[in-house]
């Protein structure tokens, strides 16, 4: 596939992008991380990107939106 057939659906920390990648893969989507090594090795490096085939983006949007929402509003621990 030419590069133009891929779309970045999220960019963030190495930990967040790995979590989202796993969630998307569990949903049956094809995903890879761009700049993963630089993001983990170089402090202050650019964000790691979650990239996938453009024809699967529509399926991923609700999953990514839920991930972002949950990251913004973490569940409080009542213990």
pLDDT above 80 for 8: yes
**What's the count of helices (H) and strands (E) in the chain, helices before strands?**
3, 3
Question: Residue 2's pLDDT band (boundaries 50, 70, 90)?
Answer: low
Q: Rounded to whole angstroms, what are the CA distances from 56 to 10, 28, 29? A: 14, 10, 7
Residue ranges per structural domain of the chain: 3-72
Average pLDDT over residues 12-19: 92
Q: Read off the tokens for 42.
A: 């170089």
For residues 72 and 51, the model is more confident at 51
| Residue that is written with structure tokens 């991923």 in the block | 60
pLDDT above 90 for 73: no
What's the pLDDT at 77?
61
Q: What is the pTM of this model?
A: 0.80
pLDDT above 80 for 43: no
């Amino acid at each position: 596939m030419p590069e133009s057939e891929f779309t970045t659906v999220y960019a963030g920390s190495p930990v967040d992008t790995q979590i989202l990648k796993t969630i998307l893969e569990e949903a049956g989507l094809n995903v890879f991380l761009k700049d993963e090594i630089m993001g983990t090795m170089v402090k202050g490096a650019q964000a790691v990107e979650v990239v996938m085939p453009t024809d699967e983006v529509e399926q991923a949007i609700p999953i990514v939106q839920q991930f972002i929402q949950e990251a913004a509003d973490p569940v409080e621990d009542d213990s």
